[in-house]
Amino acid sequence: MLGIEKQLSRGSRGCLDGHFLIAMPGMADERFERTVIFVCAHSEEGAMGFILNRPQPVQFQELLDNLDIDKDGGDEEHAGLEHRLSDRARDFPIQLGGPVDSGRGFVLHSDDYMSESTMPVNDDLCLTATIDILRAIKDGCGPMRGIMLLGYAGWAPGQLESEISANTWLSCPASDDIVFDPDHSGKYDRVLAHMGISPAMLSIQAGHA
């Protein structure tokens, strides 16, 4: 399976790029039970995406501390870092993106922020996985909308297609409002409602929507 950057840099888009995957009842892997996944890259070489409803008990300030960002200015300057955070940075959401490379962070964000390392995901969303975006968020000049994702979900060539055929996932075009919806506990049901499906209608024996 190609690295996430190589998948995105290819430029060509697969039929599931920019789609949601919604785990069906009976999902065998508990890591993906009742998950909503945003697919950012899909091709004959595999697929990659991010879980959108697994919040993490980590504050943005803690993330900066762990990465030693802005410690160059000395202990006194670093001690005041929390007070210099923008309001948006203090509440910037951090979530588990998936079980692959979970020690690595990615920011999925609106396209109003761009750097040399930013990669478009679709017409409205981009992905940046370098430290420059964290500094921009801290200083209040980052994207208007974004989420920090730790790790990602990945599928080998043909694997995702096989899982969809086995009725493991539903799929539908993604909505930016749902991608950035802070109501994690209700996101699963909201995506189903967006598709016109009630959770009670779902069955592991049902056909595909």
Q: List CB contacts of 98: < 8 A, sequence separation 6 or more.
A: 37, 49, 50, 51, 149, 151, 152, 153, 154
pTM: 0.85
Question: pLDDT tens digits for 136-194?
Answer: 998 888 999 999 999 999 999 999 999 999 999 999 999 999 999 999 999 999 999 98
Q: Give the Cα separation of 133 and 107 in Å (integer).
A: 8
The burial class, CB within 10 Å (0-12 / 13-18 / 19+), for 93 is middle
Question: pLDDT tens digits for 61-78?
Answer: 888 888 777 654 444 444
